[in-house]
Structure 1
Amino acid sequence: MTLTAPEPTATESTRTIPRFVSVDDHIIEPAGVWQDRLPEKYKAVGPRLERLRVANLQFNGMQYSFDIVDGDSAEGKWADFWCYEDLKVPMRRIITAVGFPPEERTLLPVTYEEMRKGCWDQTARLEDMDVNHTEASLCFPTFPRFCGQTFTEAKDRELALLCVKAYNDWMVEEWCGGAGQGRLIPLIIVPLWDADLAAEEVRRNAARGVRAVTFSEIPPFLDLPSIHTGYWDPFFQACAETDTVINMHIGSSSRMPATSPDAPAGVQATLSFNNAMGSLADWIFSGILVRYPTLKLAYSEGQMGWIPYALERADSVWREFRGWAFDKEAVPEPPSFYFKRQVFACFFRDNFGLKNLTDVGVDNVTFETDYPHSDSTWPDTKQVFTDMVTDLSDEDVYKLARGNAIRMLSLDLD
């Protein structure tokens, strides 16, 4: 499928929109990420692609269920699977959805040939970014999941650490190297099972220019220590010292808000911002932002319409519940102070948030295209953005489209 940039509409032609710096896109990893880098003894068990026939693919909560059937069967269809230890994960159209109308963004299993090439190929991705008025893009992982949970859950920790480092080496040297340098922004994962190793990996990559790392919005949902325990301090210290932004994508706790186990996925999709809201309260009352005043947080794909009330409520709790609800010595300023100083929201469609931009904080908001997921606005992002910002000043439009992202990520752009 070949698409070109849409013709400008009357609305679009009346205003100059700066090229976007998208702080939340995704990479469908190509076949060689791990196989090209792992020692020979690990290649048969390390991450690798296999083509299998799959049937009855369904989504239940945060889990997928499916049946692998015989290759000669008339049931199901062929799909490319990422295989690692005992894990088998099929590729699905909802995570490779660009180019398809909404009704065709389904759970259909896919092969790499059936995806748009920009999902996994650097040259094609840069071309798709040009079509979409996008100068630079920060990409989250797919097979490792949003904060590397796949390797944290693995059995062999030696292999898992090698996989984390292999992914980061590929991200920095290949995906963000060559023609991608300056346009594809490196985002690394860390070994979450060891905070000291995580700190080491942050510093190793910061030494070669990386300024962004993924982390879980709610670590205890991954059976990891909470941010209140002190366990993560070496990691937080490394991020603060190296100006590395901690990016927490919705779903990075492997659990999405839902009312019941049998609720349709549309319930979870509607409530997806809830974990970001809970995470923000966690961070604000933990005192971590006080102890590390240069640390920066980004709530990727968390949207922003909920933020004004969340801060209003947190400030009220800070004033009225000082005697018992938190350590007032650890949080000497109102929560909104720390949000304004250190936290960034991220949106792709949020008209309500834009109407309340002053209360959110125009300097605290970044923008994304979510390529190639089913929420992506590609290839119409410029028009979608233009229609949302008609009431904003040129200065504020610049901040949202790219300026805040450049400042957040310390990018050498403009």
Structure 2
Amino acid sequence: MTYKIHDSDRHVIEPIEIWEQYVEKEIFEKHPVYLKTNKNAKGEELPAEYMIGSYPIVKYWTKSLQEESNLINKETLLQRHQAKTGVGQLQSMDLTNIAIANIFPTFALGVIYHSEIPSYVAVAYAKAYNKWLNDYCNVNPKRLKAVGIINRHDPYEMIVQVKEVISYGWKTIILRPEEINGRTLGHKDYEGFWKICTENNISIAFHGGAHFHGKSVGTDRFNDRFSLLATTHPFEIISAFISLLTSGVLERYPTLKFAFLEAGSSWLPYWLWRLDTICYPDFPNQTKENIKMLPSEYFKRQCWIAIEPGEPCLREVINIIGSNRLLFASDFPHPDHEHLNSDDVPSKLPELTDSELKEIFELNAREFFNYEEEHEHANYN
């Protein structure tokens, strides 16, 4: 069976020059984003560091990590170059039979959510990224679907940012899942934000990342790549769902759509089982206002999750939430994920039926990303 493969998590590589081109001149001059060159003890040049002002955007990125990163990056040099432009991105998609992709940031997440920059600077960089992304995706907007980035430093400015995203005609935004400026996702100050997203049918994708300059699971106790990669992605995604659940966001906004990306899905059966059978019955008077049905029912009603080809327990995931809630996501061009040709992916999922594979690779993304009718008539050539 052939599919019009939808890649639900495909990334750009932001060329360093875009910030000076798209950010307001006064802000860029005070808080420039640039590349800083480093050398190892032997005097050999290391990969340049992405900086904002005097701060690196990647935390705990040691010289030894830079040296190893340099070796890994050589393997994906072509892919990272392709990801810098819309034309290159389309070429990379054609090579792996991807019909359509939602486009996510790479370095912009570290810039825009950096804990050491003022709110107005973070918002200015978020707006600049979205302007550049609009130009990037306009090469072929039927195949390159922009995901607008929203900065969470200031809840009021989040509403302003969403309105701008809506003006582009986009239907999905990305948020970091962490606690930002002392506010978890369930904080009362975000109520206006959830409301405007609901009114405009904006879907929300959560996507974190290791080495974050901010409060994040793992960074409070680890500083090595292995530990940060192991903890940050899954535990921040888990915490995001808990925050939305216990604060009543899922109860008050039953039509809001959420996707949890780049953390796999195999943890989900255990986690929903624990919430349903242990946490929900315990002290029910404490949760009765915000959680009025089983936690797993909220997930099945309005949440999607990205799978990793080859991960275990997918049958158990489907048994508890259904195959219609799973998304295919390549994470292209990042080297910490396997970049498979889409023709090879079904072989990594031998336990799934043809109809389940069609849902995961093609149909489910249409519903989450809100373009069912448009998708039917798109020309992918």
TM range (shorter): 0.7 to 0.9
For residues 67-98 of structure 1, the C-alpha deviation after alignment (integer angstroms, 9 at most, x for no partner) is xxxxxxx61315444332222458xx9xxxxx
1:120 matched to which residue of 2? 84
1:166 aligns with 2:128: yes
Q: 2:350 aligns with which of 378, 383, 390?
A: 390
1:183 matched to which residue of 2? 143
| Change in CA separation of 1:79 and 1:218 when aligned onto 2, cut-off 3 Å | closer
What is the CA–CA distance in structure 1 between the aligned matches of 2:36 and 2:225, rounded to whole Å? 27
| Change in CA separation of 1:269 and 1:164 when aligned onto 2, cut-off 3 Å | closer
1:404 matched to which residue of 2? 364
For residues 298-356 of structure 1, the C-alpha deviation after alignment (integer angstroms, 9 at most, x for no partner) is 111121111112111111146521435x3202211111111011111112225323222
1:289 aligns with 2:257: no
| Change in CA separation of 1:47 and 1:396 when aligned onto 2, cut-off 3 Å | farther
1:413 aligns with 2:375: yes
3-state SS in 1 of match to 2:324: helix
2:259 matched to which residue of 1? 298
Q: 1:24 aligns with which of 9, 14, 18?
A: 9
1:10 matched to which residue of 2? none
| Change in CA separation of 1:203 and 1:42 when aligned onto 2, cut-off 3 Å | closer
Q: Is the 8 A contact 1:303 1:350 kept in 2?
A: no
For residues 3-31 of structure 1, the C-alpha deviation after alignment (integer angstroms, 9 at most, x for no partner) is xxxxxxxxxxxxx2413211112211023
Q: 2:269 aligns with which of 305, 308, 312?
A: 308
For residues 90-149 of structure 1, the C-alpha deviation after alignment (integer angstroms, 9 at most, x for no partner) is 8xx9xxxxxxxxxx99322879x9564213122121111111121122232222226931
1:3 matched to which residue of 2? none
3-state SS in 1 of match to 2:313: helix
Q: Is the 8 A contact 1:369 1:381 kept in 2?
A: no
Aligned residue pair count: 362
| Change in CA separation of 1:145 and 1:319 when aligned onto 2, cut-off 3 Å | closer
The code of the aligned residue for 2:303 comes to: V
3-state SS in 2 of match to 1:138: strand
| Change in CA separation of 1:304 and 1:79 when aligned onto 2, cut-off 3 Å | closer
| Change in CA separation of 1:44 and 1:413 when aligned onto 2, cut-off 3 Å | same
Q: How does 1:202-281 map to 2 (within 5 A)?
A: 202-219=162-179, 222-251=180-209, 254=214, 255-257=216-218, 260-261=221-222, 264-271=224-231, 272-281=233-242
What is the CA–CA distance in structure 2 between the aligned matches of 1:42 and 1:225, rounded to whole Å? 25
What is the CA–CA distance in structure 2 between the aligned matches of 1:242 and 1:323, rounded to whole Å? 33
3-state SS in 1 of match to 2:240: helix
| Change in CA separation of 1:46 and 1:382 when aligned onto 2, cut-off 3 Å | farther
The code of the aligned residue for 1:170 comes to: W
Q: How many percent of aligned residue pairs carry the same amino acid?
A: 20
| Change in CA separation of 1:190 and 1:375 when aligned onto 2, cut-off 3 Å | same
How far apart are 1:379 and its partner, in Å? Answer: 4.3
How far apart are 1:289 and its partner, in Å? Answer: 0.6
Q: How does 1:102-141 map to 2 (within 5 A)?
A: 106-108=68-70, 116-141=80-105
The code of the aligned residue for 2:348 comes to: M
Q: How does 1:47-126 map to 2 (within 5 A)?
A: 47-50=32-35, 52-55=37-40, 75-77=43-45, 79-89=47-57, 106-108=68-70, 116-126=80-90
For residues 208-245 of structure 1, the C-alpha deviation after alignment (integer angstroms, 9 at most, x for no partner) is 211111212232xx433123431111111121111112
What is the CA–CA distance in structure 1 between the aligned matches of 2:97 and 2:51, rounded to whole Å? 35
1:11 matched to which residue of 2? none
1:145 aligns with 2:86: no
Q: Is the 8 A contact 1:277 1:306 kept in 2?
A: no
Q: 2:117 aligns with which of 154, 159, 164?
A: 154
What is the CA–CA distance in structure 2 between the aligned matches of 1:147 and 1:308, rounded to whole Å? 34
What is the CA–CA distance in structure 2 between the aligned matches of 1:240 and 1:147, rounded to whole Å? 27
RMSD: 3.1
**Unmatched tracts of structure 1, length 5 or more:** 1-15, 57-73, 94-103
Q: Is the 8 A contact 1:340 1:364 kept in 2?
A: yes
What is the CA–CA distance in structure 1 between the aligned matches of 2:313 and 2:111, rounded to whole Å? 26
**Unmatched tracts of structure 2, length 5 or more:** 377-381
Q: Is the 8 A contact 1:146 1:249 kept in 2?
A: no
For residues 139-164 of structure 1, the C-alpha deviation after alignment (integer angstroms, 9 at most, x for no partner) is 322222269313x6313x44433222
Q: Is the 8 A contact 1:347 1:365 kept in 2?
A: yes
2:379 matched to which residue of 1? none
Q: TM-score, normalised by structure 2?
A: 0.84
1:374 aligns with 2:335: yes
| Change in CA separation of 1:21 and 1:285 when aligned onto 2, cut-off 3 Å | same
The structure with the largest helix share of the pair is 2
What is the CA–CA distance in structure 2 between the aligned matches of 1:305 and 1:147, rounded to whole Å? 30
Q: Is the 8 A contact 1:216 1:249 kept in 2?
A: yes
What is the CA–CA distance in structure 2 between the aligned matches of 1:17 and 1:353, rounded to whole Å? 25
1:66 matched to which residue of 2? none
For residues 347-405 of structure 1, the C-alpha deviation after alignment (integer angstroms, 9 at most, x for no partner) is 2225323222222321111010111112333243431x211333323221111002111
| Change in CA separation of 1:359 and 1:191 when aligned onto 2, cut-off 3 Å | closer
Q: TM-score, normalised by structure 1?
A: 0.78
3-state SS in 1 of match to 2:22: coil
What is the CA–CA distance in structure 2 between the aligned matches of 1:243 and 1:405, rounded to whole Å? 15
Moved more, 395-404 or 140-149: 140-149
